[in-house]
A and B are shown apart, each in its own frame.
Chain A
Amino acid sequence: MSRTVLTGAAAELQAAFPHVPVTAGHGAGEWLAPVPLGELPAVAGWVYAQLGAPLAQAVGVDERPLAGQFRLYYVFSVPDYRQWLVLRADVDPLAPSFPSVTPAVPAAHWYEREIQDMLGLTAAGHPDPRPLVLHAGWPHGTHPLRKDFDGARMPARAPAPAPTGFHGVAGDGTAEVPVGPIHAGIIEPGHFRISTLGEDVLRLEAQLFYTHRGLEKRAEGMTVERGLYLAERICGACALSNAVAYAQAVERLTGAEVPPRAQVLRAVGLELERLYNHVGDLGNLCAGAAALLGNMHLLRLKEQLQRLNEAVVGHRFLRGFAALGGVRRDVGEGALVNLLGVLDQVRSQFLGALDLLAGNGVFQDRMRTTGVLRRDVAEQLGVVGVAARASGIGRDLRRDHPYLVYGGLDVPVPVYPQGDVWARFQVRAEEALASFRLIADLAEQLPAGPVQADIGPVPPLRHAIGWVESPRGANLHFVMTGPDSTIYRYMVRTASYPNWAAVPSTLPGNLVPDFPLINKSFELCYACLDR
């Protein structure tokens, strides 16, 4: 086999670190660099600072049964070259610690805390090494993603220590306002501790991972076919995005080609998902400011879009559509014509609702300058999606790392510098309007042909990533097969992962009543984060 020529960022990395053998990974654009553990922060820091490549995902794997080591994978996105650089380092089980990359690459912070909790590897030098995933009461020294932890057995609960390490606040006129995990509405659980001085918020702290279900552990040992049905159910609102990202990871593992008709149909489904999410999220944003007229109009339109999903694909949340190698079922001509008709009608009503809200002075005042996510904070924490684009960072996987047929489409990427609730509202509104047009364009260019191809045999001991720009931002699925070609490790990092970490920074300087509005302006998924 001839040696692959290094290009782009891979070549630059090799030139900067000649002793690190950079090789091609599986799937176009993926490059793997095994780095000596002690040099990990330096190399990662170089990739982030010199290549301007944000960290997209970091995964810890217990490869002791395979290679006698734990392994860490840090995945960086290099949009300029449409490449992914994966730095890999080995951790000796007899010295289960690794130098934290976080001081050089702040976006690594939560991944490293998760690796500490789930694998028991200490992130030396991490500025905030508190537990992240495991809540009080989890037995100390028990790490669920280690291969010797039996996922089918419930470990004995340890006596819970004192509350969780919130900094809180003290002094005259201050208060600590706890919100959740049980919220006033049918939404997912999360605990927020708001430190206030009167009505002004001094600080927000959050404890999440209440809906941690151990899905990644559950996936281990599953066939890749069965894994799809798990991927689809990580979250309700990103069901298709997660299913397609997973499918694409598996297809890159096997080298399968998805037929053109299936690629377009997948894209239609993904834009339908973006549309119903954005319309619904804008409605929820209105609820956050008690702008109930806007809320009702937009939720009415969201209902119509979910019924449309059911008519086109068979499921309101687009489950049962993605398949390995394509899609499960074709969409007929009649269904497409109906789809375009309904979208046309929803679009004009959507514009009407936006118009209504633009003219509402009180609502506008609530949104502007509220909950500002600073661009530098967003940059350092690796924020993606709507939140990034509303803070001046123009990133979108459909344009930066094109997948399916997006490379040939004109995908607008709206960018606003203000970083406030209003900016996030505007980004969603523009993207929703763009999705109406994209679906029409896709339907027009739908080629004939099969809708699914056989993915072929699944190779053992191989890993690949799959990615999709979900309604919230970049979702990355890391899939690794074991010696018997079943899933050995599955790590999902959705847009909610980096974005949740950034939310607390947007509260200080706002009022307590702004908290629901700011939270809803991000509208992040708890289930996607917690898995």
Chain B
Amino acid sequence: MWSLIARIWQAGVAAEPAGRLLEPAPPAFRGAPVVDPARCCGSQACVAACPARALSWTAGATGGAPAAWTLDLGRCQFCGLCAEVCPEGAITQTQAYALATRSAAGLRVATAVGEGGKSDA
């Protein structure tokens, strides 16, 4: 019995206090990728490489509207390939993990990138 009590004492409290739940993830953690709008050149290398078809790039409407780089977090596997293949190093895989939204549409995150129509794809 005493060894059992010693074991309980040693194990301590396993439940995490609420404040600890939203601590940053460790540096190695694979979180959501983000794009640097200034660096995206519209090569669409990321779109081609994505195993989950989570990425799309649409040219801006005529008149100089910016292009849109869209990531569907509902499809994203957080593998980080997009960041690896980007020729301009425009994509960074962050440690962001608090990604829940209240609608499916909210999972599709569009970022305005580059200058409208600039593409060699």
Contact = CB atoms under 8 A, between A and B. Distances in A.
B is a partner of A: yes
Interface of A: 226, 229-230, 233, 296-297, 300, 303, 310-315, 319-320, 328-329, 335, 349, 352, 355-356
A300 B79 contact: no
B28 interface: yes
Interface stretch (B3-11, B32-40, B61-69): B3-11
Most interface-central of B4, B52, B79 (chain A CB within 10 A): B79
Please classify the interface of chain B as helix (H, G, I), strand (E, B), loop, or mixed, using the class held by over half of its residues: loop
B28 A335 contact: yes
30 contacts: A226-B51, A229-B77, A229-B79, A230-B51, A296-B14, A300-B11, A303-B14, A310-B25, A310-B26, A310-B28, A310-B29, A311-B26, A311-B28, A312-B28, A314-B29, A315-B29, A315-B30, A319-B77, A319-B79, A320-B78, A320-B79, A329-B28, A335-B28, A349-B10, A349-B11, A352-B7, A352-B10, A356-B3, A356-B4, A356-B7
Contact of B28 (A233, A313, A356): A313
6 closest A-B pairs by beta carbon, nearest first, are A229-B51, A314-B28, A311-B26, A314-B30, A300-B14, A320-B30
Interface of B: 3-4, 7, 10-11, 14, 25-26, 28-30, 51-52, 77-80
Contacts, number: 44
A176 to B, nearest CB: 41
A320 to B, nearest CB: 5
Please classify the interface of chain A as helix (H, G, I), strand (E, B), loop, or mixed, using the class held by over half of its residues: helix
B50 to A, nearest CB: 9
Contacts of A314: 26, 28-30
Nearest to B28: A314
Contacts of A230: 51
A356 B77 CA distance: 40
Given A303-B14, A314-B28, 4 more contacts: A296-B14, A310-B26, A328-B80, A352-B7
A282 to B, nearest CB: 16
B77 A297 contact: no
Contacts of B78: 320
